[in-house]
Chains A and B, each alone.
Chain A
Amino acid sequence: MSTPTNAASPRDLAVVLVDDHAMFRTGVRAELGSTVRIVAEAGDVDEAIRAVEAYRPDVVLLDVHLPGGGGAEVLRRVATRYPDTKFLALSVSDAAEDVIGVIRAGARGYVTKNITGDELVDAIRRVAGGDAVFSPRLAGFVLDAFAGTIEVAQVDSDLDRLTEREREVMRLIARGYAYKEVAKALFISVKTVETHVSSVLRKLQLSSRHELTRWASDRRLI
């Protein structure tokens, strides 16, 4: 990812680490070191909810697979109550239904567990600043989920399809472009790229478009 634009120093960010593998938590803790404040760790859904309620962290690093119903269950139960807490999904699973499922439940981004420490810090910072973190793979899933949006003539609510610009941004991200590079390629500012990405995220979470719904139900997301 490119250099972050928001000013908040990551050192001030309170982070809760949710993963059922203690070894992985230790690894992430070591990797993040002092770049963020890890205020609590949790190993299942209930612990995660308690930690969020107790610490009101800026960012929750949330494992997708978690005892008690998975990361999506945590999001379902607390995401709306604490709008200031942002969730970044972290997973070893690349399965589309898991990734899209957790995003639709309210996560602001998705990264795989083999992400480097620097990239993870950057992603945390980005999510905390209200932006969305899209990996190339997630962008691919999103394009797939919204497939059929090419027919511009179709009358539909704006919410339910990607604009041509948003599609372009998604395609560039899927091609491995960082936000900065996307901005350069499309002659727009990084801020505008971030706006587009956030709006795609919102559409993904709220959309009821037929194709998306069918795509999701094919994968038993809804």
Chain B
Amino acid sequence: MLGGVAQGLADHLGVPVLWVRLAFVVSTLFQLAGVLAYVAFWVFVPLGSAAESPGLASATRRGLRRGSDEDAGPQSNRSTLQTAALVVLGVGVVWIVVGSDTVSTLVFPAVLAIAGFALIWRQADDRSLERWVRVTSGWQAALRIAAGTLLVLIAYAVFVAQLGGGLQSAAQLLAALVVAVAGALLLLGPWVVRLVSDLAAERRERVRSQERADVAAHLHDSVLQTLALLQKNAHDPATVATLARRQERELRDWLYGDRTPDDATLRSGLAADAAEIETTYRVPIEVVGVGDTDPDPDVDALRAAAREAMTNAAKHSGADRIDVYVEVAGAAAEVFVRDRGVGFDPEQVPEDRLGIRRSLVERMKRHRGTVDVRSAPGEGTEVRLVLPLVREPSSDGGRDTAPQGAEGGDA
């Protein structure tokens, strides 16, 4: 709860925050490494920023849904206590390790100095220049800076007094100068670093908002185009429905989607294929997925087979919608393509469709996959494609498998 460093690291590494805090405390035993690491992380690691899809971010801003910040209540209280306890523990550990009498003369001023630095550094740890100005303009802030500086000076004076007992020799004067400069750097350093990173963040934000404006303009164009087309085709319900659905899909992808490139994964590829077939044959195709996998020749074959199955269903079934379900779990990837159309008797398949089925089966077989077609006249058809995944499914566990979820950003 000091700088949120432990929390950030814990999020990044995916371990409980308590472990990270304990790690800091334990490593403090070795030459105060924990403290130094904490400070280093604090200064150099950028603050985590949440990247939400534009639709969700906007809904959060307008209070249409609850954002992330509000729910931290009781949890963070406990967390503060935890931090305080660990800090006390850390100080105790240092105390014991360093010993009470011999070096306490050095430890005490060191602690004072660290406290001073901490007070000043705290000021620099802010998101923006604005906040810096606001925080520093009050008398409280002035008091804090003064206190910090005073502490550092006292510590320095005590330190020097302990070492030499005076400033007579020129060498000592030089050393004092070096120490003073180093102190000044320490004082101003974090602020400068923070300022620079703030500038970078601002630049990034500007680029991002320009990007958004471009996309918004593009969307406006496409929405206007669609509306014009809708008016022209008002007499043809099928066209109207297709146009509206395509527009809806585009908007939905932009507002709530994770905007994965079409060929990046099995699921995004299938979704792209489905969208294309939907536009061509004017049958809505609903793609639902669980888990995902990166493309490779085998997965591409699965995708191609699924595409063929979707095309068949769209072309021949006469169903008013097609459901596609993709599941990548453990050792296999499965795709189900289901329609509630006319169906057929698998025993009496017309020659041309048999050909299509054979090519589907052959293709999957070449990649160790299987095809299973279930159908009966009047009951629709379901094609099940199974592809065993031979490689380590390790990418499954860490992979984010939410279909449309916005990515939680942690830096």
Interface residue ranges, A against B (CB under 8 Å): 20, 64-70, 72-73, 92-98, 101, 114, 136-137, 139-141, 143-144, 147, 150, 171, 174-177, 215, 218-220, 222
User: How far is B66's CA from A150's CA once the two chains are assembled, in angstroms?
Assistant: 32
Asked if A147 meets B64 with Cβ closer than 8 Å, knowing A114-B248, A176-B323, A222-B71, the reply is: no
CB contacts (< 8 Å) of B288 on chain A: these are 136-137, 139-140, 174-175
Contact of A94 among B65, B66, B256, B338 (CB under 8 A): B256
* CB atoms of A175 and B336 under 8 A apart: yes
Can you name the residue of chain A whose Cβ is closest to the Cβ of B292?
A144
Say yes or no: is B46 at the interface (Cβ < 8 Å to chain A): no
Whether B406 and A66, one on each chain, are in contact in the complex, defined by CB atoms closer than 8 angstroms, is: no
| CB-defined contacts of B256 to chain A, threshold 8 Å | 93-95
Evaluate contact between A95 and B66: CB separation under 8 angstroms.
Answer: no
Q: Is A95 a contact of B401 with CB atoms below 8 Å? A: no
Interface residues of B in 312-340 (CB under 8 A from A): 321, 323, 325, 327, 329-330, 336, 338
B408: Cβ under 8 A from any A Cβ:
yes
Interface contact B252-A171, CB-CB below 8 Å: no
Mark B residues whose CB is within 8 Å of A.
50, 53, 55-56, 59, 62-68, 71, 248, 252, 255-256, 286, 288-291, 321, 323, 325, 327, 329-330, 336, 338, 382, 400-406, 408
Q: Nearest B residue to A99 by beta-carbon distance?
A: B404
Contact B404 A95 (CB under 8 A): yes
CB contacts (< 8 Å) of B252 on chain A: these are 92, 94
A140–B50 contact, CB under 8 A? no
In-complex Cβ contact of B404 among A92, A96, A101, A139 (8 A): A96
Contacts of B400 in A (CB 8 A): 218
10 A/B residue pairs, CB under 8 Å, sorted by A: A66-B64, A67-B63, A70-B64, A97-B56, A140-B289, A144-B403, A147-B290, A218-B405, A220-B68, A220-B71
Q: Which of B291, B327, B406 contacts A97 (CB 8 A)?
A: B406
A147 to B56: give the CA distance in the assembly, Å. Answer: 24
- What distance in Å separates the Cβ of A104 from its nearest Cβ neighbour in chain B? 12
Query: In the complex, what residues of B have CB within 8 A of residue A139's CB?
Result: 288
Residues of A within 8 A of B66 (CB): 69-70, 72-73, 101
In the bound complex, do residue A220 and residue B50 qualify as a contact, i.e. CB atoms below 8 Å apart? Answer: yes
Question: Which of A65, A97, A137, A140 gathers the greatest number of chain B CB atoms within 10 Å?
Answer: A140
Give the interface SS of chain A, mostly helix, strand, loop or mixed.
Answer: loop
Given contacts A97-B406, A219-B408, contact A140 B325 (CB under 8 A): yes
Interchain CA distance A136-B325 in the complex, whole Å = 9
Minimum C-beta distance from B330 to chain A (A): 6
Q: Do B65 and A137 have beta carbons less than 8 Å apart?
A: no
Q: A219-B406, A219-B408, A222-B71 in contact; A95/B53 too (CB < 8 A)?
A: yes
Nearest opposing residue in chain B for A114, CB measure: B248
Interface pair A140/B329, CB less than 8 Å apart = no
* Chain B nearest CB, measured from A176 CB (Å): 3
Q: A150 to B63, Cβ gap below 8 A?
A: no
B269 to chain A, nearest CB (A): 17
Residues of A within 8 A of B405 (CB): 95-97, 218-219
> What residues on A are CB-neighbors of B402 within 8 Å?
96-97, 141, 144, 215, 218-219
Cβ–Cβ < 8 Å partners of B68 in chain A: 220
CB distance from B365 to the nearest CB of A (A): 23
CA distance A136 to B404 in the complex (A): 14
Contact between B291 and A98, CB atoms less than 8 A apart: no
A121 to chain B, nearest CB (A): 18
What 7 new A-B contacts, CB under 8 Å, besides A93-B55, A95-B405, A140-B290?
A65-B59, A73-B66, A94-B252, A94-B403, A101-B66, A144-B290, A147-B401
Listed residue (A67, A92, A174) with the most chain B CB atoms within 10 angstroms of its CB? A174
User: Are A143 and B290 CB-contacts (below 8 A) given A65-B59, A175-B323, A220-B50?
Assistant: yes
**Contacting pair A93 B338 (CB below 8 A):** no
Q: Which residues of B contact A65 (CB under 8 A)?
A: 59, 64-65
User: Which of B65, B323, B329, B336 contacts A69, CB < 8 Å?
Assistant: B65
Interface centre among A66, A143, A175 (most CB of B within 10 A): A175
Please determine whether A175 and B406 come into contact, CB atoms closer than 8 angstroms.
Answer: no
Known: A96-B402, A140-B288, A219-B405. A67 touches B64 (CB 8 A): yes
A171 near B325 with CB under 8 A, answer yes
Name the 5 nearest CB pairs between A and B, nearest first. A176-B323, A65-B64, A220-B68, A70-B65, A140-B288
Whether B286 pairs with A20 at a CB distance below 8 angstroms is no
Choice from A70, A171, A177 contacting B327 with Cβ under 8 Å: A171
Q: How far is the CA of A215 from the CA of B400 in the complex (A)?
A: 9
For A217, the closest partner residue in chain B by CB is B408
A67, A72, A141, A215: the one within 8 Å of B403 (CB): A141
Which of B289, B382, B403 lies at the interface centre, i.e. has the most chain A CB atoms within 10 A of its CB? B403
The residue on A at minimum CB distance from B245 is A114
Tell me, in angstroms, the Cα distance from A222 to B327 when the chains sit together.
Answer: 26
Which chain A residues border B50 with CB–CB below 8 Å? 220
B290–A93 touching, CB < 8 Å: no
CA distance in complex: A93, B325 (Å): 20
B238 to chain A, nearest CB (A): 16
Closest residue on chain A to residue B289 by CB atoms: A140
A45's nearest neighbour on chain B, judged by CB, is B63
The one of A67, A73, A114, A150 that contacts B329, using a Cβ cutoff of 8 Å: A150
Contact (Cβ within 8 A) B408 A220: yes
Q: Measured between alpha carbons, how far is A72 from B60 in the docked complex, in Å?
A: 13
Most buried by A among B65, B67, B71, B256: B65
Collect the chain B residues with CB atoms within 8 Å of residue A220's CB.
50, 67-68, 71, 408
